[in-house]
Structure 1
């Protein structure tokens, strides 16, 4: 009697698992510089570049998701994981019932990407020449590419860049920003995440943080604009010995130290500031903290 009860239960579990683990195998011809949009609420997204003029999608489709398709033309297409439940205001939470979907996407090397995920980690590798735009809530975003432009927004997930990018716009709330090779223009913002960035020489750099610490290394282009603002996070800046810029730096209650110029402190009250011209000047560096410590160092 016990066996008679267990067998149907095992069969139902097996069928349920099979339905929850549907394999994906899709392909679509693509132009060498196609624009590909990818959206996934739960699971993982991996995008890899290859030498074919084709987009290929493999992986596993989560239970409760609509059948997946590659929609659009050879030059612009989308891959979107959607709930099979009813949509609308009365069913706004239907996506929570979906199982995790894993997407492995192959795209041409020159493709441009627009990737949106919620709780899914994301990996992008091998793109050369296309632009990249990424939005994530709690998933970590890793991007290894050579791109003219990378835009990435995250809430609690971190953003890690490898390769190189001429222009970046990176924003997080509590996630870290790690980027070892940022080109001529950079906009970097975080609330409590750490920022570790190397690059330059920057024509334009804007960096702001509330409580996250900053380590920034790189030069400033002739006539470049360099602005760093921190509330309570500590800021460490390294610049090359051949720097040519006007430096203005100040802190309200933090400790300010610099290898360039002379730091001045008021006779009464907190705070300190620095204003000096290095080399021929030209570029402008403005650095401010409220309570965070500030260090400006000369690279050996």
Structure 2
């Protein structure tokens, strides 16, 4: 009698698990430079470029999600994980109650990507030539690509950028920004995360932070602009010895030191400032901190 009661229970649990964790095996022909949109609330998203003109989706679909499909044409398609319940702002609990979905996606190397994730780490690898835009809430975003434009927004997850991008826009609230090879145009923002960025020569670099520490290393293009604003985070800037720029730097209560020019105490108040010209002064550098220390170093 006990066996008769247990077997249906085990069968029910087995069926429930199978439904809760469904393998994904989808494919769709694609143009070499297709635009691909991906959305996932919970789980993980891994996007890898390959030499085929095809999009392939593997992974496992979480409990409570609708059957997955690749929608659209060969040149523009969407892969969206959705709840079986109603979606929208007034039904967010349906999305939140879904099980974790893992997406393992292959795309053409020249594809452009638009990715939205919430509690899901994101990895993009191997894109060459396509534009990348990504938004994440709490998952870490890692991008390794050669792209004319990379735009990533994160709330509490860090952003790691490898490869090379001519233009980047990276923004976090509490996550770190790590980008060792940023091209000529960079927009970097964080509240409390650290920023570690190298690259250039920059035609335009704008950086702002509240309490996160900053380390920047790179040169400026002729007539380039370099603007850094920090509230309480420390800022360290390394520039080439052949720098050609007019440098304006000041701090209200932090310590200011520079390998260029002479730091002066302001006439009224505790602050320090620097007005200096390196080389012919073709570019412009402006660096301001409130209470954070500021260092401007000459690279050997």
Q: TM-score, normalised by structure 1?
A: 0.98
In the TM superposition, 1:1-300 aligns within 5 A as 1-87=1-87, 90-266=90-266, 269-300=269-300
2: CA distance, partners of 1:48 / 1:91: 32
Find the aligned partners of 1:2 and 1:133 in 2 and give their Cα distance: 57
Of stretches 181-190 and 261-270 in structure 1, the one that deviates more from structure 2 is 261-270
CA shift in 2, pair 1:129/1:273, >3 Å: same
Rounded Cα–Cα distance in structure 2 between residues aligned with 1:141 and 1:86: 28
Alpha-carbon separation, structure 1, partners of 2:253 and 2:112: 45
SS in 1 for 2:18: helix
8 Å contact from structure 2 (residues 29, 74) kept in 1 = yes
Equivalent pairs counted in the alignment come to: 300
Cα deviation, 1:185-228, whole Å, max 9, x if unaligned, reads: 00000000000000000000000000000000000100001000
Shift of 1:11: 1.6
Aligned mates of 1:281, 1:133 — CA distance in 2: 35
Report Cα offsets for 1:168-193 as digits up to 9, x if no partner. Answer: 00000000000000000000000000
How far has the Cα of 1:66 moved from its partner?
0.7
Deviation at 1:97, TM superposition (A): 1.6
Give unmatched runs, 5+ long, in structure 1. none
Runs of 5+ consecutive residues of structure 2 not aligned to the other structure: none
Q: Distance in 1 between matches of 2:88 and 2:210?
A: 37
CA contact (8 A) 2:176 2:194 kept: yes
The Cα shift of 1:90 comes to 4.9
Q: Deviations over 1:227-263 (max 9, x none)?
A: 0000000000000000000000000000000000000
CA distance in structure 2 between the partners assigned to 1:219 and 1:95 by the alignment: 46
